[in-house]
Amino acid sequence: MMMLRGGMSSSLATLHHLRYLDLSSNYFNFTNIPLFLGSLSNLRYLDLSDAGFSGSVPPQLGNLSRLQYLNLSGYYYRKVSGLSWLRHLSSLESLDMGGVDLSLAGDWVRMVNMLPNLKIISLFECGLNSTVSALPHLNLTHLEVLDLSSNPFYSLLQHNWFWKVSTLKELRLSACDWSGPIPNELGNMSSLEVLYLDINELSATDIKFQQHQRGHAGEITSVLMEQVA
């Protein structure tokens, strides 16, 4: 497989009708994500995962209002100070920013909640350290997959907005330093099939409660709760 190296040619900016752009698994030598990508207004699909980009994620990506798929995942020290640009991506169905430093993005829940068409949110190992217990109005009525694994929340598991997302099929909350009981709302998640809660500070009594709730929740086919205190 051919791998692109070095910087990205600005000639891409002339491809105004481009709808699909996959630059994943290349090596752009820790250069910044080019600002001109934000001018490709017809893009529906943009994959920059593991492409060797570094620096900040440019807010110009918020100009891609027709985008349905966005993957910025990887471990090349990309970061954002805020996610306000996300609110312009109203057509987005899949968002993957796994490995991107979002530790300064305290508004992340509010921003993703402004994207009503989202089906997949993957924010694995993003340095997220804050969440909210509830949202004034839940817009994520199509969300099926939520991955918040390996983020240092250090908070009570029961006080979280995602327990109200009844459309979830897959919920990954491993290694987030959650504590306290598993909430009653789990029993209302009728679509849930996959639940990962391992490597957290949840008590054995709560595990029994969760197992009891499985009869009321969806047909859960995969539960991972190993290494629970």
Q: Residue-wise pLDDT tens for the chain (229 aa)? A: 455 555 677 788 899 899 999 999 988 888 899 999 999 999 999 999 999 888 899 999 999 999 999 999 997 667 888 899 999 999 999 999 999 999 999 999 999 999 999 999 999 999 999 999 999 999 999 999 999 999 999 999 988 999 999 999 999 999 999 999 888 888 889 999 999 999 998 864 444 445 445 544 555 666 666 544 4
Structural domain that includes position 28: 10-227
Q: Is residue 139 part of a domain?
A: yes
Token duo for residue 153:
């929340």
End-to-end CA, the chain:
45
Note whether residue 5 is domain-resident: no
CATH code, domain with 140: 3.80.10.10
2 lies in some domain = no
Is 47 within a domain?
yes
Residue 109 is assigned to a structural domain of this protein: yes
Please compute, for residue 122, the number of CA atoms within 13 A of its CA located in the half-sphere on the CB side: 15
Tell me whether residue 181 is in a domain: yes
Residue 219 lies in a domain: yes
Whether 198 and 174 have beta carbons less than 8 Å apart is answered as: yes
Instruction: Establish if 4 belongs to a structural domain.
Output: no
Work out how many domains the chain is built from and give that number. 1
